[in-house]
Amino acid sequence: MYEFSDNIQRGILYLLKSDKDFYLQIVNLVQPDYFEFPSHRKIFSVIRDHYEKYKKLPTDDFIEQEIRSTKSQKESLHDYTDEIVYINRLDTSA
What pLDDT, on a 0 to 100 scale, did the predictor assign at position 2?
A: 54
Q: Tell me the pLDDT of the chain (94 aa) as tens digits.
A: 455 677 889 999 999 999 999 999 999 999 999 999 999 999 999 999 999 999 999 999 999 999 999 999 999 999 999 999 999 998 777 6
Q: Give the C-alpha separation, 82 to 63, whole Å.
A: 12
Q: What is the CATH number of domain 6-88?
A: 1.10.860.10
User: C-alpha angle 78/86/3, rounded to 5°?
Assistant: 110
Q: Is 66:56 a contact under the CB 8 Å cutoff?
A: no
Q: Among residues 59, 2, 52, which one has the least CA distance to residue 27?
A: 52
Structural domain boundaries in the chain:
6-88
What pLDDT, on a 0 to 100 scale, did the predictor assign at position 31?
A: 94
Residue 51 — φ and ψ, nearest 5°? -65, -40
Residue 5 — φ and ψ, nearest 5°? -65, 160
